[in-house]
Amino acid sequence: MRVIGLFCAFVGSLPATANSFVPSTSHGSTNLPTNNEGTIKMTSDSNIEPVYAAKTVSAFDKYKKEHAQSIKSPSKYWGKLAREVLDWEVPFDSHRVLQGDLTNGDVRWFSGGKLNVAYNALDRHDPKKLAMIWEGDEPDDVRRITYGEMTNKVSQIANALKAKGVKKGQVVTIYMPMIPELAMTMLACARIGAVHSVVFAGFSSDALGSRIQAANSEVVVTADHGLRGSKRIPLKDIVNAAVEHVKDKDLVKHVLVWERNYEGPESEAPYEMNSNDVRMDILVDDQRPYCPPEPMEAEENLFILYTSGSTGLPKGLVHTTGGYALYAAHTTKTTFDLAPDDIFACVADCGWITGHSYVVYGPLLNGATTFMFESTPVYPDEGRYWDMVQRHKITQFYTAPTAIRLLMRYGEEAVQKYDLSSLKVLGTVGEPINPEAWRWYYEVVGKSKCTIVDTYWQTETGGHIVTNIPGVTPMKPGSCTLPFYGIDAVVLDPADGHVVEPDENGKAEGVMAVRQPWPGMARTCLGDHARYKTVYLKPYPGYYFTGDSVMRDEEGNHFIIGRVDDIINVSGHRIGTAEVESALVAHPAVAQAAVVGRPHDLKGQSIAAFCMLRKGYEESPELLTELKMNVRHEVGAFCSPDLIVVSPTLPMTRSGKIMRRILRKIVCGETDSLGDISTLADPSIVDTLIEKVGKK
Ligand code: PRX
């Protein structure tokens, strides 16, 4: 089964000890954690019973009941919450809470209702309360911004966007470092009904240019530079190159530039200004600090976010106003057990969905104080996260397994120096967390007192769809556990699409799907609804297909195994093979390329590329460096392959289809289970590649 083929991608770093949760065979017999591990107390049914989750029994029963009700009557469940959680300018129709379905791909939530997300995230909260604590690259570079200040500033930015001709429904591309102005520009778009498209500032100018073009975006907002670990990233220069790259030369009307060290309108711009560039600080300073929030239909677009698919160009996933806002708010509050005075820290970048939902929208819609972080976990040293927790008294801390694995390497001392007693909930997202990292997070960071929430979700889902809930549902290392309210999670047989019944041990294995719509789901791909349906709804009619394989245990806990498509997950970054391959073949030496993921101790997966050269070119260290540079240049440094194998040909079927499955097995070292290779045009290539990879 293809599902299992990818499994190697995630277990490379996991020791196959008897008490590891990792399935011991590729067909998934699972050894659950035993009860003699460290300080984690297990109940007889091998669930973890941390101090923080002590009230589980009755709360767990309540969850089961509420979850069942939310599935049975989604309109009732979400309708009630939508009225409680959000302020509506025009109430939605009670009989049209949910319309459409997954079969037709015409899902609509809260029809008839109008609201503004920026108003909900800002104006309605106590203006004196801290909306955001921001910490820049240097630990002493801290800003504290109240709700009142942020409301005014967002209004000024909104007026500035309007002054430059931005209208409701237009896409504004944002390419910025993690500074408060990034969040505020997103909210300013939401305030006037413009649709933001944040592009992660690690993407190259070419990748940015194609996203500007694909979204038909006339306005780009950037900053002069970003900072990461004292390195200066010249964002404005990258945007200049991106604008050059945009095919439609007249498309971009304005580039608006935030200046990091703005010194007033008289100061000279410390970067190259083109004729259509505008200095954002000067423009914003001139604006009135009030901009009426645009009442938006619940189903009007809030933002798009490009994400990699298995084929072709990245898809611009569309999230709409009412449903997304409700889902981001409700999951933040519930999964993180958010209380009014909490300092909520999600250290993801706003260039990804995690930053959208859990740095900006979720916390602010709840009126919480969100913590925004510009730098890296190891700058100026490996204690940075914990130092921040101590200094800002952070209560929830949300990061990715790759960061935890990295920090584990520095030992416990780097954590123990700090007072982490403010912490209540520790979150993880982006990839499966291996039990060693889970335990370290739980014991060393959380002192066995915090709840670890392993949140499984995707750009497409808008917010968590499978996660444990502090004090409500039990934790299990390595498992994202149980579906969130309103999520009808099912395991499907990839071969025939039927719901997999539990086997004699109560386990079910297959692909992960959802049986009914939820408010946070992306509604379409920008300008290409057919693609949306093809990728998510058609593979298993009647279901939303996640693209992940999963094992569900006898208690209903989900263990995500990995992608079943050609998406690679490097350090929690989602990378499409097609993008990297097209960057490689853009080099004149490369005739054809195939890219696969392989296990990596720190990053989860790394990229391995197989390249077939054109006549007249030969392998050399210089060429390999050039190929890596091509990927950096065309997509971004975070997509650079760790391994490039020059190959006389690629394993192709007679009809010319590259069999990545075989390449994956080769880089995973699983050469004794290659499966049927007789369909290859030239089966002898397999031995050649095994030998070549072995030598690397
Ligand atoms: O494979 C799953 C993995 O990340 C994919 C989604 O990537 P992206 O859209 O970039 O969103 C990442 C942040 C939400 C999923 O299809 N993934 C995400 N969270 C988990 C995970 N795999 C296992 N466990 C998780 N908690």
pLDDT digits (tens, 9 = 90+) for 120-137: 999 999 999 999 999 999
Predicted confidence at residue 271, as pLDDT, reads: 87
Residue 477's pLDDT band, with cuts at 50, 70 and 90, is very high
Tens of pLDDT, residue by residue over 306-348, are 998 777 778 999 999 999 999 999 999 999 999 999 999 999 9
CA 567 to ligand 1: nearest atom: 1
Report the separation in Å between the CA atom of 264 and the middle of ligand 1, taken as the mean of its atom positions: 43
Mean pLDDT on 365-373: 98
Predicted confidence at residue 51, as pLDDT, reads: 38
Other residues' Cβ atoms within 10 Å of the Cβ of residue 580:
23
Top-confidence residue, 132 or 60: 132
Residue 255 and residue 152 in contact, taking contact as beta carbons nearer than 8 Å = no
Q: Which residues, including other chains, have CB under 8 Å from residue 311's CB and lie 6 or more apart?
A: 566, 576, 578
Residue 462 and residue 456 in contact, taking contact as beta carbons nearer than 8 Å = no
Per-residue burial over 522-557, b = 16 or more CB atoms within 10 Å of its CB, e = otherwise: bbbbbebeebbbebbbebbeebbbbbbbbbbbeebb
Predicted confidence at residue 625, as pLDDT, reads: 96
Q: Compute φ and ψ for 475, nearest 5 degrees.
A: -95, 160
Per-residue burial over 175-192, b = 16 or more CB atoms within 10 Å of its CB, e = otherwise: bbbbbbbbbbbbbbbbbb
Report the separation in Å between the CA atom of 218 and the middle of ligand 1, taken as the mean of its atom positions: 31
Top-confidence residue, 69 or 25: 69
Report the separation in Å between the CA atom of 512 and the middle of ligand 1, taken as the mean of its atom positions: 12
Query: Using CA atoms, how far apart are residues 86 and 155, in angstroms rounded to an integer?
Result: 20
Query: Using CA atoms, how far apart are residues 116 and 302, in angstroms rounded to an integer?
Result: 10
CA 560 to ligand 1: nearest atom: 23
Q: Which of 492, 664, 651, 686 is nearest to 5 (CA)?
A: 664
Predicted confidence at residue 232, as pLDDT, reads: 96
CA 457 to ligand 1: nearest atom: 14
DSSP, collapsed to helix, strand or coil, labels residue 215 as coil
Q: Which residues, including other chains, have CB under 8 Å from residue 226's CB and lie 6 or more apart?
A: 176, 177, 178, 201, 232, 233, 235, 374
CA 459 to ligand 1: nearest atom: 9
Report the separation in Å between the CA atom of 20 and the middle of ligand 1, taken as the mean of its atom positions: 21
CA 546 to ligand 1: nearest atom: 16
Query: Using CA atoms, how far apart are residues 644 and 125, in angstroms rounded to an integer?
Result: 53
Query: Using CA atoms, how far apart are residues 682 and 108, in angstroms rounded to an integer?
Result: 50
Residue 429 and residue 403 in contact, taking contact as beta carbons nearer than 8 Å = no
pLDDT reading at 57 higher than 90: no
Report the separation in Å between the CA atom of 39 and the middle of ligand 1, taken as the mean of its atom positions: 28
Instruction: Look at ligand 1, atom 13, and give the residue with the nearest C-alpha.
Output: 430
Q: Which of 435, 208, 461, 231 is nearest to 331 (CA)?
A: 461
Mean pLDDT on 686-695: 91
CA 547 to ligand 1: nearest atom: 16
Mean pLDDT on 153-176: 98
To the nearest 10°, the Cα dihedral for 44, 47, 52, 53?
-90
Predicted confidence at residue 308, as pLDDT, reads: 87
Tens of pLDDT, residue by residue over 188-213, are 999 999 999 999 999 999 999 999 99
Mean pLDDT on 158-186: 98
Report the separation in Å between the CA atom of 202 and the middle of ligand 1, taken as the mean of its atom positions: 19
Report the separation in Å between the CA atom of 574 and the middle of ligand 1, taken as the mean of its atom positions: 8
Helix, strand, coil fractions of the chain, as percent rounded to 5: 35, 25, 45
Report the separation in Å between the CA atom of 593 and the middle of ligand 1, taken as the mean of its atom positions: 26
| Mean pLDDT rounded to a whole number for the chain | 90
The whole model's pTM is what? 0.91
Name residue 451's beta-bridge partners.
425
Query: Using CA atoms, how far apart are residues 524 and 619, in angstroms rounded to an integer?
Result: 43
Instruction: Look at ligand 1, atom 24, and give the residue with the nearest C-alpha.
Output: 432
Predicted confidence at residue 14, as pLDDT, reads: 25
Predicted confidence at residue 56, as pLDDT, reads: 59
pLDDT reading at 627 higher than 70: yes
CA 455 to ligand 1: nearest atom: 26
Instruction: Look at ligand 1, atom 26, and give the residue with the nearest C-alpha.
Output: 456
Instruction: Look at ligand 1, atom 22, and give the residue with the nearest C-alpha.
Output: 431
Largest CA distance in the chain: 75
Q: Which of 143, 144, 150 is nearest to 123 (CA)?
A: 150
Side-chain half-sphere CA neighbours of 232 within 13 A? 8
Q: Work out the percent of the chain whose per-residue pLDDT is above 70.
A: 92
Residue 110's pLDDT band, with cuts at 50, 70 and 90, is very high
Instruction: Look at ligand 1, atom 4, and give the residue with the nearest C-alpha.
Output: 430
Report the separation in Å between the CA atom of 559 and the middle of ligand 1, taken as the mean of its atom positions: 12
Report the separation in Å between the CA atom of 400 and the middle of ligand 1, taken as the mean of its atom positions: 10
CA 454 to ligand 1: nearest atom: 26
The amino acid sitting at 582 is S
* DSSP string across 49-93: --GGGTTHHHHHHHHHHHHHHHHH-HHHHHHHHHHHHS--SBPPP
Tens of pLDDT, residue by residue over 530-579, are 999 999 999 999 999 999 999 999 999 999 999 998 899 998 899 989 89
Report the separation in Å between the CA atom of 544 and the middle of ligand 1, taken as the mean of its atom positions: 15
CA 563 to ligand 1: nearest atom: 1
Q: Of the residues 457, 525, 552, which should be mutated to test ligand 1's pocket, given the most ligand atoms within 8 Å of the CB?
A: 457
pLDDT reading at 81 higher than 60: yes
pLDDT reading at 23 higher than 70: no
Q: Of the residues 458, 459, 566, 638, which should be mutated to test ligand 1's pocket, given the most ligand atoms within 8 Å of the CB?
A: 458
Predicted confidence at residue 55, as pLDDT, reads: 52
Report the separation in Å between the CA atom of 431 and the middle of ligand 1, taken as the mean of its atom positions: 5
Residue 353's pLDDT band, with cuts at 50, 70 and 90, is very high
Pocket of ligand 1 (CB under 6 A): 307, 352-354, 429-432, 454-459, 480, 546-548, 560, 563, 569, 574
Report the separation in Å between the CA atom of 457 and the middle of ligand 1, taken as the mean of its atom positions: 5
Other residues' Cβ atoms within 10 Å of the Cβ of residue 165:
11
Instruction: Look at ligand 1, atom 21, and give the residue with the nearest C-alpha.
Output: 431
Mean pLDDT on 41-68: 64
Tens of pLDDT, residue by residue over 263-305, are 999 998 888 889 889 999 999 999 999 999 999 999 999 999 9
Mean pLDDT on 95-118: 98
Mean pLDDT on 379-403: 97
